Amino acid sequence: MKHPLALLAAAALALGGAAVTTTAYAAQCPSGEFCAWTDANYTGMRWNWSGDDHDWEPGIQDEDSSWANHGISGPGIKDHVQVYENPGLIGLGTVCLAPGQEIPYDSWGNDSGDSHTWKMEC
């Protein structure tokens, strides 16, 4: 009888620990916005947008290290965000975020973003 209770207690502790780890770096990004930070794990300076930006401002341009898509989702709504390595939405895409997706760090996208657009899918 002691073993099932011990397993249940261990499972509860494991889940509790995972929940703390998962929320430790939760992105603070306003609802309806796409956010990018200058440092990993949603730290440093934050920039946020509700629409497209074809030429990011100095300070975030080529300085982005973490991203969050807190955009509004629904039928016919462009709710994915594609980040591009050059102004004008040209060049390679660096990161693409689905609705609700948060990326604390990505080596490919790190310090590469110059513009972004909202689109139907990645």
Range of the domain at 46: 27-119
In a domain, 1, yes or no: no
Q: What is the pLDDT of residue 26?
A: 82
Domain presence at residue 34: yes
pTM of the model: 0.79
Tell me how many domains the chain contains.
Answer: 1
Would you say 95 and 103 are in contact if contact means Cβ atoms under 8 Å apart?
Answer: yes
Is it the case that residue 13 has pLDDT exceeding 70?
no
Rg (CA), the chain: 18
Which CATH number fits the domain that encloses residue 33?
A: 2.60.20.10
Label each residue of 36-95 as H, E or C: EEEEHHHEEEEEEECCCECCCCCCCCCCCCEEEECCCCCCCCCCEEEEEEECCCEEEEEE
Q: Is residue 16 part of a domain?
A: no
Compute the Cα dihedral for 100, 101, 103, 104 and give only its sign.
Answer: positive
- pLDDT tens digits along 44-87: 999 999 999 999 999 999 999 999 999 999 999 999 999 999 99
43: nearest Cα among 18, 67, 19: 67
Give the C-alpha separation, 37 to 63, whole Å. Answer: 8
Which of the four pLDDT bands, split at 50, 70 and 90, describes residue 31? Answer: very high
48 located within any domain = yes
pLDDT for 110 equals 98
Q: Is residue 104 part of a domain?
A: yes
